[in-house]
Amino acid sequence: MIVSGSDQIKIGRADYVLLDQRGRPLTIIEAKRSAIEPYNAKQQALPYARKIGAPFIFLTNGELIYFWDYRNDDARIVNSFYSRRDLERLVEMRATRKPLATIEIPEYYLRQGETRQVRPYQREAMKALDHALELGKRRFLIELPTGTGKTDLVCLYLKRLLQAGRAERILFLVDREQLAKQALEAIQDILNQYSSYWLRPGMARQEQQITVCLLQTMISRYTEFTSGYFDVVIADECHRSIYGAWQTALTHFDALHIGLTATPSAYIERNTFQFYQCKDDQPDFSYSIQQAFKERYLVPYKFATGITVILAQGAEVDDENYDPAEFERKWTNEDTNRKMMKEFDRLAWENYKDLAPGQKIGPGKAIVFAITKHHAARLAYYLNELHPELKGQYAQVITSDVANAGDLIRKFKREDYPQVAVSVGMLDTGFDCREILHLVMCRRIRSPILYQQMRGRGTRTAPHIGKQKFVIYDFFENHEYFNDSDTDIFTGNGTGRPSVRVEKPHKPPGNLIELGLEDEWLHAVTYVEVGPDGERVDKRDYLTNWEKTIRTAAKDDPIIRKVRKGEPLSEEEEQTLIERLNRPEMYFNEENLRRAYRRPGGNLIDFIRAALGNLKIKSKEEELTENFQAWLISKSVSPTQAQYLSLLKNRGIARGKIDIEDLFTPPLSILNAAERGVQLFGEEGLKEIIDEMNASIFQRKTA
C-alpha cells in the first residue's frame, strides 16, 4: 500500500498498466469479478492513475468495459479496449488542439470543378455543431431535406475538426453503393489533402484518414477495429442505422457521432433522438423543406391531374407486410401497365418544356418506381414500345440483377438516353440526378419516410436546364394517403395535413425498420425474385444452388480460392467476382442473397465464406446479445440500471420478446424484478424501456 503525501490517500496497485512507446504510463486497467459493477471501482483506480500520471482508466468485470478520460468526462461504457496507438493519438491531439472559434468557416469551396458558396443554413449548422461540441456533447443529429447538401456540409465540418486537431481518423457509414460513391466523391473534392478510401467487403483494411464503408460491410468487419480507432463516425440517413445489428456498427466506436437525415423529426423514431442525445425530440440543427423551397435551394413539385388511379377507392390493403408479387398480380395487368405508361409519356412530352425550358431532349429524365422486378420489366417494355425509333434505348430497367447496374446509372445521369429509368428499390433513396423532371409512382407506399425520400429524388436544382418544377405521376394515390399537395406540403411535422391514420403509420409485423431494402421481402416472403422477368425462386432452393455453385467454383476459381483462404481481394478482383456471379440463370448478387439468407447486413464475401463452411452465420442468440450490447452503449443509464437490463435481455433472448408479465413469473419474479424495475425506472419508465428493448433489440412489439 502506497501513501500519497499529506492527503493520506491510500493508493492501491492497479491490475494492469499500459505504457506508451516511450515507456510512460498511458492507462491503468482495473479488473473486477463478474458479479461486481466495475463503475464502482472508479475511486479505487483514480488515485493510482493520478500518482503514476496515466491520463486514462479502463474499468471492467469481463462483461462490461468502461473507459474513463477522467480529466474531461465521466466513465462511459465502450465495446472494446482501446489500442496503445488510439490512446497515444488522444494524448497528441489534446496537446495540439485549437479552439473551433479560431477556424474560419469559408465563404466558398470547390466541388465538381465549380466554385460553390457556403449557404446560410450550412453555416448555421456548423455553428450549431461547434456550440454543442464545446458544451461537451458527443453525438449530434442534423436534419436537412434531400438535395440541400448534407454531404457537402458534413465534409466542410470534418475539415474544421481536422484543422482544429479534434479528429484524425474518420468513418463515413452509408447503406447504399450509390451513397458510398457520392460520399467518396465529395470527400476527395472537399478534403483532398487527406487520404481516403472505400473499405469493401473483400479488401484489406488500409491505414488512411477517412474510411467510407457500407453499413452492411461494417457489421461483419467492425471487430477488426478497436473502439478508439475512429475519432468521428458519420452515419448517413442515420434514422435507419440505430436498430439491432445495424446499431452495432455504430456503437462499437467510442467517437464523436454525427447523424445525417432527410426525414422530418415527427417521423424519426424516438430512439434516434435518444441515441444522438437530443432533448425534446429536436435535432441539433434542422432546416425545413418549406424553407428550402421558399429560398429556392430546392425545386418544388406538382402532381399530374386526371390520370387513371390504379388502386381503386376502398381497395386499400392495410397490411404492410404484403407479398409484392401477389400485390402486383391483384392490382395491375397488361392493360393497366400499358395505360399507366401511355398516360405518363403523353403528359411528360406535353409539359417538359414548361418544367425546364433548357431541356433539349424530351421528355426529360424520369424515374418510374415499380412494384417488383417483373413489373419493372413490363413497364420498361411498354415505354420502349411507344418509341420504336429508339430501338429499346428510351427506357431502361435498373435493378440488382442487371450485371452493369452502376454503368447504367452513370449512363442515365450523363447521357441523353435512356430518358427513363425503371427500378425497384435501387433509385428510391440515395440516388442523385439533378435533371429529374418526372417521378412516376406505380406502386403503393405507406411509409411516410420512404414517400418523402422518393419525392426527394426530384427536388434538386438544375440551373443548366432552367429547371422550375418537377411532376409526380401518382397512379396509386399515395399523396392522397399522406394528404400531400404542392400547396400544402406533407412533412409529417404538422405543416402539412397528415390525417389521424398516418400520424404514426402502421408498421409491419416484427416492427421491421426500413433500410432502403425491401424489408417485407427479407423476412415474410418465401421466395427471391430474380432475373429480368422477375422469376420467383424459393429461398431454400436459391441457397442450395448458391452453395453448390460456390463449392464447385472453389476447385478452380482463383478468386474464390483466395476468399476461402481468407486472403484480401483487390478492387478489380472483387468487381470481377461480382460480375461473374451476377449472371443468368441464378443472378447471385448481394441483394438477392440478403433476402435468401434473411440477413440485411450480409455482404458477398460473407455469403461465399458461409457457402464454403468457413463462416458460421450467427445464431439468433449471438445476434441478439450483440444487439443488446450495442443498444446499451447507446443509452444513458446508470450502472445499476445496466445490470438490471442485462437480466431482462436474457429473458428476451429466451422468449423472443419481453412482456411486463414476465417480471411476475419465474425466473424474474424470484429476483424481485418487478419491484426493482419500478425503483430503477418508475412504473411508466419501466414500460417504456421494455417497449424500446422489444423494438430496438428483439424487433417485436409487446402485446
142 and 168, same domain (yes or no) = yes
Give the lowest-confidence range in 361-370, 420-429, 434-443, 454-463.
Answer: 420-429
Q: Which residues pair with 232 in a beta bridge?
A: 170, 256
- Looking at residue 510, its pLDDT comes to 34
286 and 326, same domain (yes or no) = no
646 and 592, same domain (yes or no) = no
307 and 290, same domain (yes or no) = no
47 closest CA partner among 75, 7, 11: 11
**Rounded average pLDDT over 267-271:** 63
Euclidean distance between CA atoms 605 and 239, whole angstroms = 27
268 closest CA partner among 299, 239, 231, 237: 239
- Looking at residue 703, its pLDDT comes to 33
Q: Is residue 384 part of a domain?
A: yes
CATH of residue 30: 3.90.1570.30
659 and 571, same domain (yes or no) = no
- Confidence label for 129 from pLDDT (cuts 50, 70 and 90): very high
Euclidean distance between CA atoms 269 and 242, whole angstroms = 10
| Count of structural domains, the chain | 5
Contacts of residue 224, defined as CB under 8 A and 6 or more positions apart, other chains included, come to 205
Higher pLDDT, 696 or 363: 363
DSSP 607-663: HHHHHTTSSPPPPHHHHHHHHHHHHHHHS---HHHHHHHHHHHHHHHHHSS--GGGG
Q: Is residue 622 part of a domain?
A: no
**Rounded average pLDDT over 431-440:** 92
Q: Is residue 83 part of a domain?
A: no
What backbone phi and psi angles, to 5 degrees, belong to 234? -100, 130
- Looking at residue 103, its pLDDT comes to 93
Handedness of CA 494, 499, 500, 501 (dihedral sign): negative
- Looking at residue 130, its pLDDT comes to 94
Average pLDDT, the chain: 83
Q: Is residue 348 part of a domain?
A: yes
Please write the tens of the pLDDT for every residue from 197-222.
999 998 999 999 999 999 888 988 89
Q: Is residue 280 part of a domain?
A: yes
271 and 309, same domain (yes or no) = no
Higher pLDDT, 330 or 511: 330
Contacts of residue 377, defined as CB under 8 A and 6 or more positions apart, other chains included, come to 397, 422, 532, 533, 534
pLDDT at 600 over 80: no
Range of the domain at 73: 2-78
What is the torsion angle, in degrees rounded to the nearest 10, for the CA atoms of residue 293, residue 295, residue 296 and residue 300?
Answer: 10
Euclidean distance between CA atoms 454 and 149, whole angstroms = 17
Q: Which of 17, 47, 78 is the last residue of a domain?
A: 78
**Rounded average pLDDT over 452-463:** 91
Beta strands in 128-169 (DSSP E): 139-143
pLDDT at 319 over 60: no
Euclidean distance between CA atoms 592 and 583, whole angstroms = 12
- Looking at residue 468, its pLDDT comes to 96
- Looking at residue 4, its pLDDT comes to 33
Q: Are residues 238 and 259 in contact, defined by beta-carbon separation less than 8 angstroms? A: yes
Please write the tens of the pLDDT for every residue from 679-694.
888 988 898 888 888 8
Euclidean distance between CA atoms 634 and 628, whole angstroms = 10
Going from the C-alpha of 493 to that of each of 266, 329, 381, 558, the distances in angstroms are 5, 35, 40, 54
Going from the C-alpha of 196 to that of each of 102, 189, 193, 254, the distances in angstroms are 26, 11, 9, 21
**pTM of the full predicted structure?**
0.81
309 and 414, same domain (yes or no) = yes
- Looking at residue 269, its pLDDT comes to 63
159 and 179, same domain (yes or no) = yes
159 and 198, same domain (yes or no) = yes
**Rounded average pLDDT over 236-259:** 79
pLDDT at 599 over 80: no
464 and 321, same domain (yes or no) = yes
Q: Is residue 91 part of a domain?
A: no
Higher pLDDT, 430 or 561: 561
Q: Which of 243, 269, 294 is the last residue of a domain?
A: 294
pLDDT at 70 over 50: yes
Q: Is residue 125 part of a domain?
A: yes
Provide the 10 A C-beta neighbour count for residue 439. Answer: 24
Higher pLDDT, 700 or 664: 664
Going from the C-alpha of 393 to that of each of 304, 344, 428, 608, the distances in angstroms are 25, 17, 22, 35
- Confidence label for 400 from pLDDT (cuts 50, 70 and 90): confident
Q: Are residues 398 and 373 in contact, defined by beta-carbon separation less than 8 angstroms? A: no
**Rounded average pLDDT over 126-151:** 91
Parallel, antiparallel, or unpaired for β 210-214 and 170-174? parallel
478 and 349, same domain (yes or no) = yes
- Looking at residue 7, its pLDDT comes to 36
- Looking at residue 57, its pLDDT comes to 94
Please write the tens of the pLDDT for every residue from 477-530.
889 888 998 888 887 543 333 333 333 333 333 333 333 334 444 566 788 888
What percent of the chain has pLDDT above 70?
Answer: 87
Please write the tens of the pLDDT for every residue from 638-682.
778 887 888 888 888 877 788 888 888 888 888 888 888 898 889
Please write the tens of the pLDDT for every residue from 575-592.
899 888 988 877 898 888
DSSP 27: E
- Looking at residue 122, its pLDDT comes to 96
Euclidean distance between CA atoms 412 and 398, whole angstroms = 10
* Helix (H), strand (E) at residue 66: strand 65-68
- Looking at residue 244, its pLDDT comes to 60
CATH of residue 427: 3.40.50.300
632 closest CA partner among 323, 251, 299, 291: 251
- Looking at residue 493, its pLDDT comes to 42
- Looking at residue 268, its pLDDT comes to 62
- Looking at residue 351, its pLDDT comes to 93
- Looking at residue 498, its pLDDT comes to 35
- Confidence label for 164 from pLDDT (cuts 50, 70 and 90): very high
What percent of the chain has pLDDT above 90?
Answer: 42
462 and 327, same domain (yes or no) = yes
Q: Which of 594, 611, 628 is the last residue of a domain?
A: 611
pLDDT at 314 over 70: no
pLDDT at 325 over 70: yes
Q: Is residue 398 part of a domain?
A: yes
